Amino acid sequence: MHLLRLRVGSWQFAPTLWPTLAALLFFVLTLSLGNWQSGRADTKRALQARYDVAVREAPIHVGSALLDRDSVLFRKLEVEGVFDDAHTILLDNRVMNGVAGYHVLTPLRIEGGTLALLVNRGWVATGRSREQVPVPPTPAGRVRLEGMAVDPHTRYVELAPTTPHGRVWQNLDFERYAAASGLNLQPVLLLQTSNLPDGLQRNWPRPDAGVDTHVSYAFQWYSLAATLAVLWLIMNVRRWRDDSADTKP
* 20-30: pLDDT as tens digits: 888 899 999 99
Q: What is the pLDDT of residue 113?
A: 87
Is the distance from CB of 105 to CB of 170 less than 8 angstroms? no
**pLDDT class of 127 with cuts at 50, 70, 90:** confident
Q: How many residues are recorded in the chain?
A: 249
Q: Is residue 158's pLDDT more than 50?
A: no
Measured distance CA(217)–CA(206) in Å, rounded:
22
Measured distance CA(5)–CA(240) in Å, rounded:
10
Q: What is the pLDDT of residue 160?
A: 45
Percentage with pLDDT > 90 across the chain: 52
Tell me the pLDDT tens digit for each residue of 59-105: 999 998 999 988 888 889 999 999 999 999 999 989 988 899 999 99
| Mean pLDDT score of the chain | 86
Q: What is the pLDDT of residue 116?
A: 97
Q: What is the pLDDT of residue 193?
A: 93
Which one has a higher pLDDT value, 244 or 176? Answer: 176
Instruction: Read off the pLDDT of each residue in 130-145 and give the average, rounded to a whole number.
Output: 89
Which one has a higher pLDDT value, 53 or 198? Answer: 198
Q: What is the pLDDT of residue 243?
A: 55
At what angle are helices 17-54 and 211-235 packed, to 10 degrees?
160
Residue 99 — φ and ψ, nearest 5°?
Answer: -110, 130
Tell me which amino acid residue 107 is: P
Is the distance from CB of 184 to CB of 118 less than 8 angstroms? no
Is the distance from CB of 122 to CB of 104 less than 8 angstroms? yes
Measured distance CA(199)–CA(210) in Å, rounded:
31
Is the distance from CB of 192 to CB of 103 less than 8 angstroms? no
Q: How many helices (H) and strands (E) does the chain have?
A: 5, 11
Q: Which of 113-117, 193-197, 199-203, 205-209 has the lowest mean pLDDT?
A: 205-209
Q: What is the pLDDT of residue 2?
A: 60
